[in-house]
A = this chain, B = another copy of it.
Amino acid sequence: MIKIGVDYYPEQWNKKEWERDANLMQQTGVRVVRLAEFAWSKLVPEEGVYDFDWLDRIIEIFEERNMELVLCTPTNCPPLWFYEKYPETIQIGRDGQPIALGIRGHRCYNNKVFRQYAQDIIEKMTLRYGHKTSVIAWQIDNEVESNFCCCKSCSDAFQEWLKAKHHTIEAVNEAYGNNVWSGEYSDWSQIKPPFGSYPLGWYNPGYMLDFHRYAAESIAEYVDFQASIIRKNIPHAMITTNTWMCEHIPDYHKLFKNLDFVSYDNYPTTSIPEDSEAYYSHAFHLDLMRGIKQKNFWIMEQLSGTPGCWMPMQATPRPGMIKGYSLQAIARGADTVIHFRWRTAVSGAEMFWHGVIDHSNVEGRRWSEFKDLCDTVNELNEVEESQITNQCAMIYTYEQDCSLRIQPQTEGFHYYNQMKAIHHGLTSLGVGVDIVSEEVELEKYKVVILPTVYIVNPKFVQKVYDFAKNGGIVILTNRSGVKDQNNNCIMEQLPTVYRDLTGCVVEEYDAIGFKKVRVQDKNGIIYEGKQWCDILLPINAEVLATYMDFFYSGKAAITYNKYHKGGAYYIGTVGNKALYRSLLKDALEQGGINYFENLPETVELSVRKTDKVNYIFLFNNSQNKQKFIFMEQTIEMEPFGMYIHKAIKG
């Protein structure tokens, strides 16, 4: 059963409100409530003193109303008495100083004392509530990031990680090319986290990528540490952590490897940008989240009102957004969507991050729309069993992401933005896509898109060749095959390991940054490229489009190479949306994937399937009404409206 829930912070409200709140939630149609996320100080007000009575009571209130619960380990925020007693548990910044207290998330993940106290509260909570059937899932900590703490514990952990990987200091020097700038380490003790205020790109790229790998594994290990405590006491617990798009992104695939399901904090924009090239559908994020474990997922925090806290408030969600964005998540594989938050906080730094209910505690427009959402979803019972399967995949890896952040290739280029533009092309054609790691089985797909496979993973390369050999269609882009696993450049002509597959070489490249280049296809249609131009020399490949500007005017910009039963596209520039849409149509046809030519640009189609039924979701991700013909029906959609068609297989 698909469920709508809310995040609730009983510790922030007068106990007198609890039952009234629970009653209104029940009337609204809320099925799940997340609790205790930041409540450590309420549970352990002083060293050795525990208070679970309040949590017992609020759980009881929800149980009485047949509502289900998600409990959180409250480890994001140790109580202040703890930091005062153990100041060594505070994270150290890149300046070598403890970060200032007073916000949240100050704990060092690796510190032993912190781990001991974290274990204690998790043990206590799991022993007390583990048996409850009402508790359907556990959330670990909150929005953890890759571990950039520079304390002694973490510095040591980084050195240990390096020893385990490289074994000798000579191997580290070899891997990083430390002969540049006399950078050879002569002792492990010289390898530190990236202290100082330098931009990350000033450091050795091999070192930086290893640091990011360590930082991601460090946070995954922390999450696993918590999961193992929970699982010890509750063997069948469903365990997750709520992830997000943050500064120090985690490796999503490693983070969730040992957890039961992915959950995501989903905040689509409330202000549609005026530049249509800048706009993208949040479906991109949802597809990425579903791809992590290649199965359905949860939203642990969903947009419910104006975001705002330390930054100025944003526009309030336009009518339809609260319901529509939530249904969009379901359409893309979310089985439970918990809204952040029930009622807007009246104190604390997040007091302007608006919930379903306003500060006023009066039910308003957003609550009405949320109730309408609950009503709709509560009638969708059978949908949960459904899964999403696609014939098209797009590869995302933490390593490419980090490496391209460490060394931005050209002004304005972002790994995600290119993926978003390609994703838009697929969406505009009504074609679903799985955004998956290089671990995926490619045989499941007909078309596989590899946006900037910058760092070469030889096993994956072999899989790609096998896929194409057996009839698969591959789409590669600029900056593919550039680097080896050490984040060093490969001493071969680009796209190096992909030369055979693509049937072309990159003669030269031009980092054009914010300039534009015109690209013309064989039909004379002109598209726009930006940021990067690979000047292609086809060896076996067919030229699909050529540049029209600069000294390489007339040279190949996009090629296609038939490869055994399959084939490979190579796109040498970063295109505008029209370029990707056009090229994708070609590729989908090659791959034998059906698409919808005439969907309005903003209408997103997705399908959840059971053995017997296909649930076809059509979402109007737009502020404008849409009217169009789909499967011979005229469909009219309100702004952010969702149309769900149940197709019984027969």
A201-B349, A513-B312 given as contacts; is B42 within 8 A of A182 (CB)? yes
Complex-state Cα separation, A95 to B234, whole angstroms: 45
User: Which of A330-338, A392-400, A485-493, A564-572 makes up part of the contact surface?
Assistant: A485-493
Closest chain B residue, CB of each to CB of A17? B491
Closest chain B residue, CB of each to CB of A203? B102
A45-B184, A103-B198, A203-B103 given as contacts; is B347 within 8 A of A176 (CB)? yes
Complex-state Cα separation, A310 to B197, whole angstroms: 13
Contacts of A199 in B (CB 8 A): 310
- Chain A: residues with Cβ within 8 Å of the partner, total of 108
Contact assessment for A184 and B508 in the assembled complex, using a CB-CB cutoff below 8 Å: no
Contacts of A492 in B (CB 8 A): 360-361
- A residues 285-328 with Cβ under 8 Å of B? 306, 308-316, 318-319
A315-B511, A490-B346, A493-B362 given as contacts; is B100 within 8 A of A38 (CB)? no
The distance from the CB of A606 to the nearest CB of chain B, in whole angstroms, is 26
A96-B97, A492-B360 given as contacts; is B551 within 8 A of A319 (CB)? yes
Contact assessment for B99 and A46 in the assembled complex, using a CB-CB cutoff below 8 Å: no
- A residues 144-196 with Cβ under 8 Å of B? 176-177, 179-187, 189-190, 192, 194-196
Contacts of A206 in B (CB 8 A): 347
A490 contact from B312, B359, B410, B507, Cβ within 8 A: B359
Contact assessment for B80 and A409 in the assembled complex, using a CB-CB cutoff below 8 Å: no
The distance from the CB of A43 to the nearest CB of chain B, in whole angstroms, is 9
Query: Interface code A349-364, partner B: CB below 8 Å = 1, 0 otherwise?
Result: 1111000001111101
A182-B79, A319-B551 given as contacts; is B198 within 8 A of A489 (CB)? no
Complex-state Cα separation, A613 to B425, whole angstroms: 65
Closest chain B residue, CB of each to CB of A199? B310
Q: Is residue A344 contacting chain B, with contact meaning CB distance below 8 A?
A: yes
Contact assessment for B180 and A347 in the assembled complex, using a CB-CB cutoff below 8 Å: yes
A489 contact from B100, B189, B346, B486, Cβ within 8 A: B346
Contacts of A194 in B (CB 8 A): 100, 102
Q: Is residue A39 contacting chain B, with contact meaning CB distance below 8 A?
A: yes
Contacts of A203 in B (CB 8 A): 102-103, 349
Complex-state Cα separation, A29 to B272, whole angstroms: 58
Closest chain B residue, CB of each to CB of A346? B489
Contacts of A316 in B (CB 8 A): 508-511
Query: Interface code A404-441, partner B: CB below 8 Å = 1, 0 otherwise?
Result: 00011111010000000000000000000000000000
Contact assessment for A182 and B40 in the assembled complex, using a CB-CB cutoff below 8 Å: yes
Contact assessment for A488 and B346 in the assembled complex, using a CB-CB cutoff below 8 Å: yes
Complex-state Cα separation, A197 to B103, whole angstroms: 12
A365 contact from B9, B38, B413, B508, Cβ within 8 A: B508
Contact assessment for B181 and A77 in the assembled complex, using a CB-CB cutoff below 8 Å: yes
**Residue contacts A-B, CB under 8 angstroms, 21 given:** A11-B179, A79-B186, A99-B196, A101-B190, A180-B345, A180-B347, A181-B348, A181-B349, A199-B310, A202-B309, A202-B310, A205-B347, A311-B408, A313-B409, A313-B511, A316-B509, A347-B486, A347-B489, A359-B491, A365-B507, A365-B508
A contacts, CB < 8 Å to B: 9, 11-12, 38-42, 45-46, 74, 76-81, 84, 94-97, 99-104, 176-177, 179-187, 189-190, 192, 194-199, 201-207, 306, 308-316, 318-319, 344-352, 358-362, 364-366, 407-411, 413, 486, 488-494, 507-513, 515, 550-551
- Known contacts A42-B182, A45-B184, A81-B186, then 8 further A-B pairs from the complex at CB < 8 Å, ordered by chain A residue: A39-B182, A41-B182, A84-B189, A94-B100, A101-B192, A102-B202, A315-B510, A365-B507
